[in-house]
Chain A
Amino acid sequence: MRSGVLFLLLALASTCLFGQVGTAELISKARQLDGQEVEFVGEAIGESMRRGDYVWLNLLESGGAIGIWAKRADMPAIRFFGSAAARGDTLRVRGVFHRSCPQHGGDLDIHAAALEVVARGELKQETLHAGRMALAAGLLLAAAAVFLSWRAKQKAKDRA
């Protein structure tokens, strides 16, 4: 019981320390948040890029995507990265925000202390429109007919 209360208090304290922020807020309040611990939730896009014992990961939320610098050992298993074919896994990251990171050539980034997958992504279903297929066939046939007529008109003009 006591440990449960302690856990709840710690959880509450942690949400106060690591306020969840979005990309737009990180950009607009960059000087204020510089060097602070923040919490960020976003969809993993593209792929993770290995750099020695670390990786770069880009997380996307409504205000834009942001770079996350994380230890490879801390990386959770990511099943899907956002692309045309899939909606990527959603990750929550806690870490130190840098307005202009001295380690990474001035990038606006977050150095992750903890990363977790909060929602799994999925493959997208492609929808084929029958109307568009018919339209494509019609346009191509019409183009072929006009092309043949153009060549015939050209030949007739050349003969004349």
Chain B
Amino acid sequence: MLAKPRLRDLKLICSYTGKVLIGVGLLMALPLLTALAFREWAAFVDFLVGLGAALLAGCALAWLGVGEGRPSWIHGMVTAGISWLAAMGVAAVPYWLSGHYLSYLDCMFDVMSGLTTTGLTLIQDLDHVSVSLNTWRHLLTFVGGQGIIVLALAFLSSAAGGGYPLYVGEAKDEKLFPSVLHTAKTIWKISLVYLAVGTVALWVAGMAIGISPLRALLHGLWVYMAAWSTGGFAPMSQNILYYHSLGYEVVTLLFFVSGSFNFALHHAVWRGERKEVFRNIETVSFAGSLAALTLIASWGLMRLGVYPGAVALFRKGFYQLISGHTTTGFMTLYARQLVLEWGDVALLAMILAMLLGGSACSTAGGFKALRVGILFKAIGQETRRLLKPGSAVFAQRFHYLGSRILGEAQVRSAALVVLMYLVIFALATLVGSLCGYPLLESAFEAASVSGNVGLSVGVTAASMPAVLKATYIFNMWAGRLEFMAVLATFGFIAAAVRRKGLA
């Protein structure tokens, strides 16, 4: 049971949450400058309001928590949980003022969808959205992929002292270096280098398919941000289908697959350890599940004669599948086509792909390939144990940035997180069904929100019930933070309420 929260605990949480909000506010400077450059004066004022609200809230919270020392684990976890909710509240201000949303709940849904790199959207009339608002949408998903706390740690250096609990609270436990500040900066360095390379690649690809240079640059930047963060947002309502181009689709595919890999794996490759790609339990697990699910989905689609040839099967079947498996959510078809044409087998393969997800310590969501690999290794170990004499002692090894011995703690931790994902998946499926949607469609959308994917069969719409929107917001938040921070937040609140007052 959690100890009774003291005033100092609250002040510490306020202090770090305030710094995260200041970070969110400062981020608004980018769309603000974009609005200035493109002379979008109404949007400029909207972003000034958003900036003012975020800075005021952030400074007020930081003022409340002045000088309360270093955060412990529980502070880190609770701060991570609360910061994401607070960031959702303030980042939604420019959305609401834009007039492209029907309610503030819809705005918060889209912010949480962006920050958690889910990619589902309730925006109205996306094809007429301003350049600055599109920049904000994609910036949120790019920053959310690396982590808003990683951002605060990397760029607001005063927040770095004792920052490891905050870093872990955001579901990133890979320390590339002993210093968490150094790790956070390296994650951003990797992402910014890829940002430059990816934007140029998509800019060239865009111009090659007939898009004017400025528009190709903007689309390249936005689509890259969504691809690398496995986000799934796009500037046009048709998503990637808008471009009608195999080449453009292949370039996006390369970047979202890269984004779904562990930052530690990227770092190892940067250091010259290229063999790690082929030996790492995550890449092996991901390749295995992708191959199996591609076979199942292809069989389902071919049986129904959905696509006329191999190219169409690749561009529609495989693209959607790998987009789902990496938890990206880019689409090259219409949402309702999945329900009306794909059939149950291919849809079930998609649901499984979305739940399995990408790599740990990446921008991807889902169970994560590391946990799936560990659980398969554990099943193998138990099978061997059953077949060998009781006195036999053996160790199960796996390769993850070096050879490791499989321990019970790793298996228990992996199984618990997978179980929690299944619980929130079941919850969202149940709420969807209770709201009147068919079971398979509810399950598809539930897998999409729980795994932070963003593919949709059409359930997600501004017209869906508010209770379903709230459930999906909860699932996106819990799925992105991988439950520890969420459980800690609820536990902290329960402890504070139960004890009636602070010490």
Contacts and interface: CB of A to CB of B under 8 A. Distances in A.
A25 B42 CA distance: 36
A28 B340 contact: yes
Contacts of A153: 63, 66-67
Nearest to A148: B59
Contacts of B189: none
Contacts of B237: 60, 64-65
Contact of A58 (B46, B60, B209, B238): B238
A42 B153 CA distance: 48
Nearest to A132: B45
A84 B131 contact: yes
B426 interface: no
A51 B208 CA distance: 9
B63 A150 contact: yes
Given A64-B237, A105-B312, A106-B315, A100 B63 contact: no
B236 interface: yes
* Most chain B beta-carbon contacts within 10 A, residue among A28, A136, A158: A136
Interface in B194-247: 209-212, 215, 236-238, 241-244, 246
Contacts of B67: 153-154, 157-158
Given A132-B45, A142-B56, A108 B337 contact: yes
Interface residues of B, number: 55
Contact of B242 (A46, A105, A138): A46
A128 B316 contact: no
A14 interface: no
Contact of A127 (B40, B42, B133): B42
A11 interface: no
B49 interface: yes
Contacts of A65: 127, 236-238, 242
Nearest to A54: B210
A102 B337 contact: no
Contact of B127 (A45, A67, A142): A45
Nearest to B129: A84
B192 interface: no
A104 B236 contact: no
A135 B242 CA distance: 38
Interface in A141-160: 142-143, 146-147, 149-150, 153-154, 157-158
A64 B40 contact: no
Interface residues of A, number: 53
A58 B236 contact: yes
Interface in A74-131: 82-84, 87, 99-100, 102, 104-109, 126-129
Contacts of A140: 48, 51-52, 55
Given A58-B238, A65-B236, A128-B41, A105 B246 contact: yes
Nearest to B212: A47
Interface string A45-78: 1111111000110101000110101000000000
Contact of A147 (B59, B210, B309, B341): B59
A27 interface: yes
B311 interface: yes
B337 A27 contact: yes
B306 interface: yes
Contact of B238 (A28, A64, A82): A64
B308 interface: yes
B210 A50 contact: yes
Contacts, number: 150
Interface string B385-413: 00000000000000000000000000000
B62 A150 contact: yes
B222 to A, nearest CB: 13
Nearest to B209: A49
Query: Which of A47, A139, A153 lies at the interface centre, i.e. has the most chain B CB atoms within 10 A of its CB?
Result: A139
Contacts of A149: 63
Nearest to A136: B48
B49 A139 contact: yes
B277 interface: no
A30 interface: yes
Interface string B56-72: 10011011001100000
Nearest to A24: B336
Interface in B243-280: 243-244, 246
A76 B298 CA distance: 41
A48 B53 CA distance: 40
B104 interface: no
B334 A108 contact: yes
A104 B40 CA distance: 36
B307 interface: yes
12 contacts: A27-B336, A47-B212, A47-B215, A49-B210, A49-B243, A87-B128, A106-B308, A108-B337, A126-B42, A128-B45, A138-B52, A140-B55
Given A49-B244, A104-B244, A139-B55, 14 more contacts: A30-B340, A49-B243, A82-B127, A84-B131, A105-B314, A106-B312, A128-B41, A138-B52, A139-B51, A139-B53, A147-B55, A147-B59, A150-B66, A154-B66
Interface of B: 40-42, 45-46, 48-49, 51-53, 55-56, 59-60, 62-63, 66-67, 97, 127-131, 133, 209-212, 215, 236-238, 241-244, 246, 306-309, 311-316, 332-334, 336-337, 340-341
